[in-house]
Amino acid sequence: MTEIILTINAGSSSIKFAAYEIVAAALRPVARGHIDDIGDDTIFTAGPADGPFERQPIDARRGAIDHRAALELAVDWLRRHEGGCHVVAVGHRVVHGGPDNAQPVVIDDDTVQRLRKFVPLAPLHQPHNLAGIAAALHAFPDAAQVACFDTAFHRQHPFIADTFGLPRRLYDEGVRRYGFHGLSYEFVSRRLRSVAPALASGRVIIAHLGNGASVCALRDGRSIASTMGFTALDGLPMGTRCGQLDPGVVLYLLTEKGMSADEITHLLYHDSGLTGLSGLSNDMRELEASDAPEAREAIDYFVARVRREIAGLAATIGGVDAIVFAGGIGEHAWRVREQILGDMDWLGIIIDRDANARNAQTVSLSDSHVTVLVIPTDEDCMIAEHTAEILGLMQSPADPMRLTA
């Protein structure tokens, strides 16, 4: 019977999943899928790792779909299409691991209780990550469950990159900069070791640009500083999140506008960023296609903030040898990349506009002092590798890109 590692990335109204077969000392991607609009009008999409995908609505007669029912749909599909597969382990993306979790952990009851404490720090993600864990524990009672944290990659930051200018006791209590998107950064950093090992050991800035967006500075593959902070609101403007904000604005909204904490939370997490600035959409593709001046201004603001953060992070690591773009916007929105880097020759960047327009892997010219790369991220792969490693299903790698064809 084929042994499978299943990865789960559970959101508020969706579950993304992927299945990997354990083959000797490597992982072979078997299938991927996602269940969208959990609750009402649920859509199930899945297929082999190399496609094609099938997309089907869920029969309304099944009743409302919750996370447990959604995961059961994924399990049923895997059993129908992958025959005698046996799920031996489930790896979960968990956005917030707190100050102590610097590595993935095997999930038990105590782990779940500790992770609940971080719900206020990641209200968009943590409750749904925990719902995915609960669903998987029910579906696979005999499988090992592993939590892989988006914050873990940043846990070796120096103090100055983790703290705020607040009384030290608050830092000791956990009020600090955690950083997020760590699974993506770790995957891209490992992939860079295969693509350009000399660059990977130097000063690298990775821009994970998507509906959630952040930038991270690395030295020799280790995170030194990140634009995200105590929560996933900080740093860059995102699809619906505000990014960097003067805390006085929150005080003003409380005292002068009479907004409640819940109203401000909804404003900052759901009604801000590209959505709020444009009044149109959180989708960069729609904004680029729009003639509305608000759409252009939203893109310009996003670009300006990315440029500012890249320059600031370059200062934290004493310059930059490579910049890597990842995420939906980073990998596909070539016009946005061109705007970000088009006149950054002062930083040693000379962009190859033709290569950039093709979304090539290398989008800088050969005489550019800074190499600019586009590397697709794969958080599912990173979760699967971590899960296999912590359970001893395969060895921790010298070159961690050990997916078989």
Catalytic positions: 150
52 preceded by a cis bond (ω within 30 of 0):
yes
Compute how many other C-beta atoms are within 10 angstroms of the C-beta atom of residue 116.
12
Q: In the Cβ-directed half-sphere of 35, how many Cα atoms lie within 13 Å? A: 28
Q: What residues form DSSP beta bridges with 325?
A: 207, 374
How far apart, in whole angstroms, are the C-alpha atoms of residue 259 and residue 276?
A: 17
- Which tokens sit at 34? 């996602």
**For residue 366, how many other CB atoms are within 10 A of its CB?**
8
Which residue stretches of 256-348 are H helix? 261-270, 273-278, 284-289, 293-316, 327-332, 334-341
Q: Which residues contact 278 (CB under 8 A, 6 or more apart)?
A: 287, 290, 292, 294, 295, 297, 298
What's the CA gap between 283 and 162, in Å, rounded?
31
